[in-house]
Amino acid sequence: MIGKLILTHGGTARELLAAAQTISGRLAAFEALSLDWNDGVEEAKAQVAAAIERLDQGEGVLILTDMYGGTPCNVASSLQQPGRVEILTGVNLPMVLRLACQPCENGGLSQMARWLQEKSQRSLCLVSDMVQPPKCPDGSEAVSAPAEKKHD
Amino acid sequence: MIEKETEIVNRLGLHARAAAKLVHTAGAFQSRVTVARDGEEVDAKSILGVLLLAAAQGTTVTIRCDGRDEEKAIEAVTALIANRFDEES
């Protein structure tokens, strides 16, 4: 099983994993690592490296981090190894839930990372675009047809 | 392919935890399983897809199953919905 590490500053990683577990139940091969704002880079790197070692069962580790260019991402980047450690930025609850609920590991780590990136880029929506138009009393649509929905 | 209409009867509707249970249930079968509402059909093995339906209490949805274990799949999914996703007495 591919390991999944949610890596952020502050408590975001911990809370994202807690929310996903509340929704989906206990998640195997997941870990949250919340870096302290006062941690130095070397200390943070040691924590991330240790988490990778804990999670890697031979199929690699996908790191989900918050912002490209932020310290968690920069620290993770220094540990990136194609095929063993991949990093995806912009972690959010839909991303974690998608990983938790859908089998997507058959193609290996790199393919899973690419799959999740493509799916997650389509998971933002303006809710007013998604709402069904009001119905007339006879059941016909009062305004235009529903906007095309982009999720899968 | 077989299909069955059923009503979402739990108070909170097809919310996140219920959707996760639906996805886990559907994922236990090899058959393709979909849920449709008002012409919108989504993969029942995708939690983001199921949430997209925004199916509140009282909504009628259509479960479709296609594959060699389709009978067992549709029975399990419709039972989960009828049992209010095990979240209410």
pLDDT, tens digit (0-9, with 9 covering 90-100), for B19-70? 999 999 999 999 999 999 999 999 999 999 999 999 999 999 999 999 999 9
Neighbours of B33 (CB within 10 A): 26
Model confidence, pTM:
0.83
> What is the phi/psi pair of residue B53, to 5°?
-70, -25
Q: Does B57 touch chain A (CB under 8 A)?
A: no
Q: Does A128 touch chain B (CB under 8 A)?
A: no
Determine whether the interchain pair A123/B47 forms a contact, defined as Cβ–Cβ distance below 8 Å: no
Task: Assign B89 a pLDDT band (cuts: 50, 70, 90).
Answer: low
Find all residues with CB under 8 Å of B6, minimum gap 6, and list them. Answer: B60, B61, B62, B63, B78, B81, B82
What's the ipTM? 0.80
Determine whether the interchain pair B48/A132 forms a contact, defined as Cβ–Cβ distance below 8 Å: no
Contact predicate A63/A7, CB 8 Å: yes
Q: Average pLDDT of chain A?
A: 87
Q: Does B87 touch chain A (CB under 8 A)?
A: no
Specify the length of chain A in residues: 152
pLDDT attached to residue A103: 67
Chain A residues whose CB is inside 8 A of the B17 CB are 22-24
Residue of A nearest to B38 (CA): A132
